[in-house]
Amino acid sequence: MKATISKESITKALSLTGGIVEKKQTLPILSNILIEFKDNSFKLVATDLESELTIIGETDACETEGTTTASAKKLNDLCRLIPDKSNIELNLSGDKLNISTKNGKYSLATLPSNEFPIFESGDSLNSITLRSQDLKTLINSTSFAMGNQDWRHYLNGLFLKLEEGVLTAVATDAHRLALNCLDSVSDINFSGIIPRKSVNEINRFIGDDNSELSLAINDTSLVLSNDNLTFKSKLIDGAFPDYNQVIPTGDSSLLDVNVKDFVSSLGRVSILSNDKNKGVKIHLVDNNMFIRSNNADNEVAEETVESKYAGEEIEIAFNVNYIQEILNNQTNENCNVLFFGSDKSCLILPPGGEFPKYVVMPLLL
């Protein structure tokens, strides 16, 4: 195997695959990346047995085809520090991958490519086509509410469902819930829970552009691909809770507030909140919103936020981090908060809209 590739091409590919490779592996081969040169193109594959990312690109020259594996971290660190616009020659000699540049020579240990695990994606998958920007928006607006190492493993991921032409993403950690929808022209149905790590990797490599992606889910796996990238992931085995039961309904009181003002006020007041539950109290009465916090040192913070409020007087407490994360994902100048009682969850929506919708449970202070 002998090929020449530009520094920019290989470092871009290595930076994407690096997130898949775990730093601490029980199997040495999983710390390596599969490298293949063929027909003036290269292929890099990384896996942690739960997910796999394949990147395909062009070489400047491919004298001899071949495949091997080498340390993902060492190869990435080395290529990244090579001067920009350099050409890098990779040459497999025995069990060493020799790397040559204009001013340097390096030799990395390899492991046989036939030891590299093959990711099994299960039964055939029906795919849909969507825009990368739309998928990124869907993920960004919901994934922050995923559970993190929750014993209820089905909460540690993003639930994705395609039904009746609507692609729905839902995430919850049992304290708050985020839901958003995207219209699809497809008439196929699928659903699955994408693991937290895979969601973060998808969000890392898909761009904000308008390029097309192919997305497919079966009972066990997800496959996401475009022209030069294919990402595969196992799904979380389990049933996602019925999120519709969590969304509050019935008579409510409506708060219309400027998002920037609300976020700024919460940020200041939360400085003096209790470190344990980060609780802040919101008092709503006569078109006024008062935000208050205190802590074990008897320190107190209070602010008034200009807003429009229609409904009965209410006092309710929330974890400030949950509210702030939701507000940071608002795309409108204002947002609507629906209150159903001081001991019930609130519902946050865009003005005059239905999605994205967010549910936050109250705190008992």
The structural domains of the chain, ordered by start, are: 2-115 (3.10.150.10), 127-244 (3.10.150.10), 247-360 (3.10.150.10)
Tell me the pLDDT of the chain averaged across its residues.
91
**What mean pLDDT is predicted for residues 293-316?**
92
Residue 177: closest CA among 189, 164, 190, 168? 168
**What mean pLDDT is predicted for residues 62-71?**
91
- CA distance linking residue 191 with residue 181, whole number of Å: 14
What's the pLDDT at 310?
84
What are phi and psi for residue 10, nearest 5 degrees? -80, -35
- CA distance linking residue 320 with residue 277, whole number of Å: 9
Three-state secondary-structure class, residue 75: helix
pLDDT of 25 > 80? The answer is no
What tokens were used for 353? Answer: 């809209």
What's the pLDDT at 63?
85
Three-state secondary-structure class, residue 264: helix
Q: Which residue has the higher pLDDT, 47 or 27?
A: 47
pTM: 0.89
Quick one: pLDDT band at residue 126, thresholds 50, 70, 90?
Answer: confident
pLDDT of 97 > 70? The answer is yes
| Percent of the chain topping pLDDT 70 | 98
Among 116-125, 229-238, 347-356, the minimum mean pLDDT is found in 116-125
Helix axes of 259-269 and 320-327: crossing angle, nearest 10 degrees: 150
pLDDT of 94 > 70? The answer is yes
**What mean pLDDT is predicted for residues 179-194?**
88
Among 1-10, 14-23, 146-155, the minimum mean pLDDT is found in 14-23
**What mean pLDDT is predicted for residues 101-124?**
88
What's the pLDDT at 124?
66
Residue 326: closest CA among 194, 145, 193, 128? 145
b/e burial code for range 146-175 (CB count within 10 A of at least 16 → b): bbeeeeeebbbbbbbbbeeeebbbbbbbeb
Q: Which residue has the higher pLDDT, 26 or 161?
A: 161
What's the pLDDT at 73?
92
Quick one: pLDDT band at residue 95, thresholds 50, 70, 90?
Answer: very high
pLDDT of 61 > 90? The answer is no
pLDDT of 365 > 70? The answer is no
pLDDT of 251 > 70? The answer is yes
**What mean pLDDT is predicted for residues 310-331?**
92
Q: Can you give the length of the chain in residues?
A: 365
Count CB atoms within 10 A of the CB of residue 20: 23
Strand pairing report for 2-6 and 229-234: unpaired
Quick one: pLDDT band at residue 161, thresholds 50, 70, 90?
Answer: very high
What's the pLDDT at 26?
78
Count CB atoms within 10 A of the CB of residue 349: 18
CA-to-CA separations, 158 to 108, 151, 164, 184, 287, in angstroms, rounded? 38, 16, 19, 18, 37
